[in-house]
Structure 1
């Protein structure tokens, strides 16, 4: 099973986004440029209100930039499209439809016949670990199960990019951990490009190939941090390297000075020259 034979490359070029109208308008994202290669898992990490979700909205085609460009494989994002699947923090399932009907909804909108919709829906319901729940309704499921249905509903459209906006933020700690593990298992089978928004440092380090750290509003990328930890990472969460990466991210999130004076991370394997000083 494959979400796409060709996961997409994401390119942002000097992207700025303004929100609001008239005198209430403000710059949410400022001059962001970045490259995400096909199949990479990248986390956007930053404080609340820094523009993480706004960037995702521009890539999903729901927001129009004030300047700059959002590109997928060199083509400008001009509006919503199923190739860019978006998963929100709170599910958007239809409460009057069963799990199978919710998952197959995108296929129905494409005119796919009922038998094919049913077969593919069952495949993706199995993929997210909900075998036996196809005829249940969202109100009969737990929060974690509802998010599994939401992910299946997005994946069935074979997105080339999976955009995830704090999808596990409303879950309890244990369910959140299970959903993180599930997402990584799914990614091993479905090699799509993932851009995942979070404000949780541990989550970013456990999931991502790279962590893009954003400044307070107006949001800018202040560091592009490769996560040099072997996978799977859950066992490494107590390691010295994980602690060093986490400390570095926390220092950046709390830093208010210009980017030229941002704290530096000690390279992997090198002895720490000094302990990072947090800016309060």
Structure 2
């Protein structure tokens, strides 16, 4: 397969997903269409319950569309595949396996010889800064370290597309910042497309080439805009005036739209006027 064919281009056309049975069924996403060029880092931003994770699940091949089409490099997504790796908020590591065996697991399923798969696993652990912990077990690691192992385990399969479902959402603020910087460093070295789900505006603007903002359920794309900051990104970016302007734009899009009601007319005493029956007008 040519390099162009393997670029990780995502195409979603008129996608809709409806969940539940009969009278309890509800629309989660509706009329979503977008194209993500290969090797782009895109953040999907939106309020809780808007369908971000559901859309990611459809791209991973875990959920079927009710209508529309999802494809990677022109091939329809019809089920899970290692070339579409997914990282969740909570790690899915095997607690009885060492760190290096967890990372090597995907290669084991492909029939790669033990020495080769362990050597590759150690290389990917070095990429995420955990080569010294290869022989430890997941319970011996911090939350941030467990997520590093999770990322290495997905990347060893060399996915065209890396799907990330709020992977740093359970981490403390300092660890989260460290993991964001690590992810950008790793992504700069590997040719993969990233679709990263978050409800954190600062995280989306710090990480992404492009941000997609979703509406409340049923989720639709409210806005799709490029993030114009140079790479590599540094933490002082978050105090840049341009960053603040984009953040305010996102806040305006995500702010709940409330119905307004006219204020009651007041008498000079500050009381609502009354009708002849004595009932406030």
Whether 1:151 aligns to 2:151 is yes
| Residues 141-220 of structure 1: pairs in structure 2 closer than 5 A | 141-220=141-220
Asked if the contact 2:86–2:164 (Cα under 8 Å) also holds between the matched residues in 1, the reply is yes
- Runs of 4 or more consecutive aligned structure 1 residues displaced over 4 Å after TM superposition: none
Tell me the SS of whatever aligns to 1:59: helix
Query: Paired residue for 1:123?
Result: 123
Corresponding residue number in structure 1 for 2:64: 64
Residues 45 and 204 in structure 2, CA contact (< 8 A), matched pair in contact too? yes
Q: Structure 1 residue 21: deviation in Å? A: 1.8
Counterpart of 1:41?
41
TM-score normalised by structure 2 residue count: 0.88
Cα distance in 2 between the residues matched to 1:23 and 1:93: 38
Question: Is 1:30 matched up with 2:30?
Answer: yes
* Aligned twin of 1:81: 81
SS of the aligned residue for 1:132 comes to helix
CA deviation after TM superposition for structure 1 residue 7, in Å: 2.8
CA RMSD of aligned residues (A): 1.3
| Aligned residues of 2:44 and 2:211 also touching (Cα < 8 A) | yes
> How far did residue 249 of structure 1 move?
0.2
Per the alignment, in what secondary structure is the counterpart of residue 132 of structure 2? coil
C-alpha offsets along residues 235-266 of structure 1, whole Å, 9 cap, x if unaligned? 22101110000000010001539xxxxxxxxx
Aligned length: 254
> Residue deviations 1:45-101, cap 9 Å, x none?
000000000000000000000000001111110000000000000000000000001
1:91 pairs with 2:114 = no
Q: Using the alignment, how far apart are the partners of 1:233 and 1:203 within structure 2? A: 12
Give the greater-gyration-radius structure (CA): 2
Provide the residue aligned with 2:11 in structure 1. 11
Superposition TM-score, scaled by structure 1 size:
0.89
What SS is found at the alignment partner of 2:39? Answer: coil
Q: Give the secondary structure class of the aligned counterpart of 1:244.
A: helix
Q: Distance in 2 between matches of 1:230 and 1:176?
A: 21
Per-residue CA deviation, residues 102-134 of structure 1 (Å, 9 max, x unaligned), is: 000000011110010110000001000002101
Tell me how far 1:191 sits from its aligned partner.
2.0
Deviation of 1:188 after TM superposition, in Å, equals 1.0
SS in 1 for 2:133: coil
Mapped partners of 1:163, 1:238: distance in 2? 28
Following the alignment from structure 2 to structure 1, what is the Cα–Cα distance between the partners of residues 234 and 64?
A: 37
Q: CA offsets, 1:178-216, max 9 Å, x none? A: 000000000111120000000000000000000000000
The question of whether the paired residues in 1 share the 8 Å contact of 2:103 and 2:156 is answered with: yes
Counterpart contact for 2:7–2:73, Cα < 8 Å: no
Which whole-Å CA distance do the structure 2 matches of 1:175 and 1:91 have between them? 15
Give me the whole-angstrom Cα distance separating, in 1, the residues matched to 2:6 and 2:62. Answer: 23
Aligned to 1:234: 235
Please give the secondary structure, in 1, of the residue aligned with 2:203: helix
Matched, 1:50 2:50: yes
**Does the residue aligned with 2:131 lie in a helix, a strand or coil?**
coil
| Residue 5 (structure 1) shift | 9.2
Q: Give a deviation string over 1:124-153, Cα, whole Å, max 9, x none.
A: 010000021011000000000000000000
